[in-house]
C-alpha cells in the first residue's frame, strides 16, 4: 500500500506533463481567461479577432494603443528594447504563445516522448509552427537566452512566414539574420542575434499565458510590433484601440487643416472643442469622406454615433 501511495505523486506529475504537452489550455480555461471577448474563436477557444480589425490596426501607433490600454487599466502590455530584423517593417497579428524553459531532462524527455507518440514531427521548437495560421504571430518566452537560445533560423523562418504571413516575437535569440532578411514580408523582434544552435532549452507549453519581458500575454492577444517596441492588446479591446486611433487621426488632420486655413486659432484647436467646431468637424468628414486615411465605412459609422 505504501508503495502505491508513493507512486501516486509521480502519476499526477505524468498526467500534468501530458496535459502540458497537449499544449493548450482546455477550452473551458481559455473561455474563462478570455471571458471579455465575445467574438469568433478558434476551435480551442482562442479569440479570433477579425482580419478587418487586424488590417486597420496596422495604422495604429504604439502610443495610441498604449493610452487606450492604460485608460482601461492594462498597464503591463508593452515591451521595448528589441533587436528587430528590420527596423521599419511593422506587423500585426494574433498571438500564438509559447513558453520555453531551461532544460530539465526528466521533463523534456517526457514531453518529447508524448509529443512524438501524438504525431509531432521534428524538434520541439518546430511544433508551434505546425499550429500557425494566417495572421498568427509566434510569440515565445525563451527566458531571454541569447547564446544557444536561437529559436529559429532561416529554414523555420520560411516555414513561419509561409503559414502566418507575419513574423515572430521572441524573448530569446535567432540565428541566420542574413537568410531571414531575404524572406520578403517577414520580420523578427528578438532580444539578440547569435550564430549558435538551440541547446539546453525545452518547450513547456503552447497557447498558455506567458510573460514577454514586462508584458503579460494571452493567446489571441493582438500583437502590434513597430520600431518603438511591441504591445500586446487584449482581444476584447482591439476594436476600441483601432476606433480610438482612427478618431484621433481624423481630428488631428481636421485641426491641422483648419489651422493652415486660418479658420481657428491654436488655442481653439488645442483645447476642448466648442459645439461649433464639433459640427464643423462632422461636416468636414462628410465632405471629404473619400479622401481621408480611414475607411469610408468607418467614417460613416462614426457619424452615425455622433450626437451633435
Are residue 220 and residue 71 in the same domain, yes or no?
Answer: yes
Task: For residue 76, give the nearest of 238, 210, 246, 187 by alpha carbon.
Answer: 210
* Number of CB atoms found within 10 A of residue 156's CB: 23
Q: How confident is the model at residue 296, as a pLDDT?
A: 85
Residue 3 lies in a domain: no
Percent of the chain with pLDDT over 90: 80
CATH number at residue 51: 3.50.30.40
Predicted pLDDT of residue 1: 44
CA 178 to chain centre: 25
Question: What is the per-residue pLDDT across 96-114, written as a single tens digit (0 to 9) for each?
Answer: 999 999 999 999 999 999 8
Residue 4 has pLDDT above 50, yes or no: no
The per-residue pLDDT for 23 is 54
Q: What is the pLDDT of residues 272-297, one digit of tens each?
A: 999 999 999 999 999 998 888 888 88
Task: Specify the pLDDT at position 307.
Answer: 53
User: pLDDT by residue (tens digit) across 146-156?
Assistant: 999 999 999 99
> Does residue 169 sit within a domain?
yes
Q: How many domains, the chain?
A: 2
CB 63 within 8 A of CB 105: no
Name the grid cell of 202.
525545452
Same domain, 142 and 200: yes
Residue numbers of the domain that contains 113: 11-235
Query: 126-145 pLDDT, tens per residue?
Result: 999 999 999 999 999 999 99
Residue 65 counted as domain residue: yes
Residues 6+ apart with CB under 8 A from 304: none
Residue 25 is predicted with a pLDDT of: 84
Q: What is the DSSP string of 5-28?
A: HHHHHHHHHHHHHHHHHT-S--HH
SS3 at position 85: coil
Q: Are 100 and 58 in contact (CB under 8 A)?
A: no
Contacts of 239 (CB under 8 A, 6+ apart): 53
Name the average pLDDT for the chain.
Answer: 90
Amino acid at each position: 500500500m505504501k508503495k502505491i501511495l508513493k507512486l501516486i505523486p509521480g502519476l499526477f506529475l505524468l498526467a500534468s506533463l501530458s496535459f502540458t504537452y497537449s499544449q493548450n489550455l482546455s477550452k473551458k480555461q481559455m473561455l474563462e481567461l478570455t471571458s471579455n471577448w465575445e467574438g469568433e474563436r478558434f476551435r480551442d477557444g482562442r479569440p479570433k479577432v477579425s482580419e478587418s480589425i487586424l488590417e486597420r490596426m496596422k495604422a495604429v501607433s504604439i502610443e495610441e494603443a498604449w493610452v487606450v490600454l492604460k485608460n482601461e487599466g492594462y498597464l503591463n502590455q508593452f515591451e521595448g528594447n528589441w533587436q528587430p530584423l528590420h527596423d521599419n517593417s511593422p506587423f500585426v497579428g494574433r498571438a500564438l504563445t509559447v513558453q520555453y524553459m531551461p532544460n530539465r531532462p526528466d521533463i523534456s524527455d517526457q514531453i518529447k516522448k508524448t509529443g512524438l507518440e501524438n504525431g509531432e514531427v521534428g524538434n520541439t521548437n518546430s511544433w508551434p509552427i505546425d499550429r500557425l495560421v494566417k495572421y498568427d504571430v509566434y510569440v515565445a518566452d525563451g527566458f531571454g537566452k541569447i547564446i544557444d537560445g536561437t529559436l529559429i533560423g532561416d529554414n523555420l523562418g520560411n516555414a513561419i512566414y509561409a503559414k502566418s504571413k507575419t513574423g515572430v516575437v521572441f524573448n530569446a535569440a535567432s540565428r541566420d539574420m542574413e537568410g531571414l532578411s531575404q524572406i520578403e514580408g517577414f520580420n523578427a523582434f528578438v532580444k539578440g542575434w547569435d550564430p549558435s544552435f538551440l541547446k539546453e532549452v525545452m518547450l513547456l507549453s503552447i497557447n498558455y499565458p506567458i510573460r514577454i519581458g514586462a508584458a503579460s500575454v494571452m493567446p489571441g492577444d493582438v500583437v502590434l510590433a513597430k520600431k518603438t517596441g511591441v504591445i500586446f492588446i487584449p482581444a476584447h479591446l482591439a476594436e476600441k484601440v483601432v476606433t480610438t486611433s482612427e478618431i484621433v487621426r481624423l481630428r488631428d488632420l481636421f485641426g491641422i487643416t483648419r489651422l493652415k486655413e486660418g479658420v481657428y486659432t491654436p488655442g481653439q484647436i488645442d483645447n476642448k472643442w466648442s459645439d461649433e467646431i464639433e459640427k464643423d468637424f462632422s461636416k468636414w468628414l462628410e465632405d471629404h469622406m473619400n479622401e481621408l486615411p480611414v475607411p469610408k465605412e468607418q467614417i460613416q459609422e462614426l457619424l452615425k454615433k455622433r450626437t451633435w
